[in-house]
């Protein structure tokens, strides 16, 4: 009885009980709900305001940079009249990492740093332009599947970072802007991206995807949008979400990084329900290796999951998990009314 009495007293002190006005307890609950709602609204407002301020700061900084030169001459590739685009899927740059993976006999399996990254990206540029010339394609859709920078998910990563994560983000952003601008000399370019896990900022020891909006890849896409806005041959989708839906020549692509997905088939099925329409291609990365398998059918043909190789190649972590492969990217010719005509595996 004594414990029950203490409980009643605590409730009364909190305003949940009132002898004279039985409705006061309900009123307290309603007031508490309003306070909780106000707190959530303020938190959301602060998050949005912080993002807007950061985006405005980036745009102001970009305006002070020298503009890219206007491209003279007729370098543009002309279509043969067929409505088709080249989808170029790539990701897992892990820019800023200094990687050396050796085999059983001390041989070098993979070496990676910012110089090697730039060489591989320049080769990718040459290969994409060559494919467009061969296929008479005048439109490229770049689909980037996350982990553009290496980040600091684990303490061991501190030993392999060439730059801090902020410096890596800025260096990579300007390099990508220059790279995309160079590609636009030949074709129209649309750029899309999904966020990865290595680019997350995890404050106060927060867990994976706990603060999805706090992701440095969003900053990279904001930068690209601001930097290339004056280029009429380039469109940058600056939303950069965990899942990004893209339509190419009437076919639907869903971009995602693929981390934490124990069963990518289940994620694919959930995405179909989420968007309430068939998805023809699920493009993901994360495992640093090329892989493809069907997960169903649509009216247009098979619905397939495509894992793309990484730009950085195999690292020690991937090696320890037993996966990973050669650096590369995947290019697909998508034709309106038909779908995927052919695939070009690009080795870097």
Lowest mean pLDDT among 57-61, 84-88, 110-114, 168-172: 57-61
- What are the tens digits of pLDDT across the range 109-129? 999 999 999 999 999 999 999
Last residue of a domain, one of 32, 64, 96: 64
Same domain membership, residue 92 and residue 50: no
In a domain, 31, yes or no: yes
Same domain membership, residue 182 and residue 83: yes
User: Beta partners for 142?
Assistant: 88, 191
Same domain membership, residue 217 and residue 165: yes
The pLDDT, as a whole number, for residue 36 is 58
In a domain, 69, yes or no: no
Same domain membership, residue 217 and residue 112: yes
Is the predicted pLDDT of residue 94 greater than 70, yes or no?
yes
Q: What average pLDDT score do residues 242-256 get?
A: 93
In the chain, what is the straight-line distance between the N-terminal and C-terminal CA atoms, in Å?
77
Same domain membership, residue 142 and residue 55: no
If you count them, how many residues does the chain have? 348
- What are the tens digits of pLDDT across the range 252-268? 999 998 876 566 677 77
Q: Which residue has the higher pLDDT, 251 or 320?
A: 251
Across the chain, which distance is largest between two alpha carbons, in Å? 92
Last residue of a domain, one of 64, 85, 109: 64
Same domain membership, residue 253 and residue 208: yes
- Cα distances (angstroms) measured from residue 220 to each of 39, 129, 136, 172: 30, 24, 30, 8
In a domain, 105, yes or no: yes
Same domain membership, residue 160 and residue 291: yes
Same domain membership, residue 220 and residue 135: yes
Same domain membership, residue 216 and residue 91: yes
In a domain, 311, yes or no: yes
In a domain, 80, yes or no: yes
Is the predicted pLDDT of residue 16 greater than 50, yes or no?
no
Same domain membership, residue 286 and residue 191: yes
Q: What average pLDDT score do residues 66-93 get?
A: 87
Q: List the CATH number of the domain containing 262.
A: 3.60.21.10
Count structural domains, the chain.
Answer: 2
The pLDDT, as a whole number, for residue 156 is 52
Q: How many CB atoms lie within 10 A of CB 187?
A: 21
Is the predicted pLDDT of residue 161 greater than 80, yes or no?
no
Query: In 3D, which of 142, 129, 243, 259 has the Cα closest to residue 194?
Result: 243
In a domain, 202, yes or no: yes
- What are the tens digits of pLDDT across the range 313-339? 988 777 777 777 899 999 999 999 999
Q: Could you tell me the residue range of the domain that residue 57 belongs to?
A: 1-64
Same domain membership, residue 253 and residue 125: yes
Query: In 3D, which of 117, 335, 134, 146 has the Cα closest to residue 255?
Result: 146
Same domain membership, residue 189 and residue 40: no
- Reading phi first (left if > 0) and then psi (alpha if -120 to 50, else beta), residue 116 is in alpha
């Amino acid at each position: 009885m004594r414990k029950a009495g203490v409980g009643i007293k605590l409730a009364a002190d909190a305003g949940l009980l009132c002898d004279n006005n039985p409705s006061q307890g309900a009123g307290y609950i309603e007031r508490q709900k309003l306070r909780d709602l106000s707190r959530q609204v303020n938190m959301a407002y602060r998050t949005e305001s912080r993002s807007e301020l950061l985006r405005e700061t980036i745009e102001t900084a970009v305006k002070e940079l020298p503009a890219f030169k206007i491209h003279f001459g007729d370098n543009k590739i002309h279509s043969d009249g067929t409505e088709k685009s080249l989808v170029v899927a790539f990701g897992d740059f892990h820019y800023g990492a200094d990687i050396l993976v050796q085999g059983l006999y001390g041989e070098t399996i993979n070496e990676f740093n910012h110089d090697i990254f730039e060489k591989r990206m320049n080769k990718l540029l040459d290969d994409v332009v060559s494919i467009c010339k061969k296929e008479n394609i005048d439109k490229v859709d770049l689909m980037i599947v996350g982990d553009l920078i290496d980040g600091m998910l684990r303490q061991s990563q501190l030993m392999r970072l060439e730059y801090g994560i902020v410096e890596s983000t800025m260096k990579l952003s300007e390099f990508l802007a220059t790279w995309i601008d160079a590609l636009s000399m030949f074709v129209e370019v649309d750029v899309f991206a999904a966020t990865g896990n290595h680019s997350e900022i995890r404050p106060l020891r927060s867990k994976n995807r706990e603060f999805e909006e706090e992701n440095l890849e969003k900053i990279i896409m904001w930068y690209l949008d601001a930097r290339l806005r004056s280029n009429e041959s380039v469109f940058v989708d600056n939303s950069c979400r965990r899942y990004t839906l893209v339509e190419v020549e009437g076919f639907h692509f869903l971009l995602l990084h693929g981390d934490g997905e124990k069963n990518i088939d289940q994620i694919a099925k959930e995405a179909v329900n989420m968007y309430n329409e068939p998805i023809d291609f699920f493009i993901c990365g994360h495992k640093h290796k090329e892989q493809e398998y069907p997960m169903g059918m649509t009216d247009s043909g098979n619905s397939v999951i495509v894992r793309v190789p990484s730009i950085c190649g195999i690292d020690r972590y991937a090696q320890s998990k037993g996966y990973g492969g050669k650096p590369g990217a995947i290019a697909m010719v998508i034709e309106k009314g038909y779908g995927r005509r052919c695939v070009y595996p690009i080795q870097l």
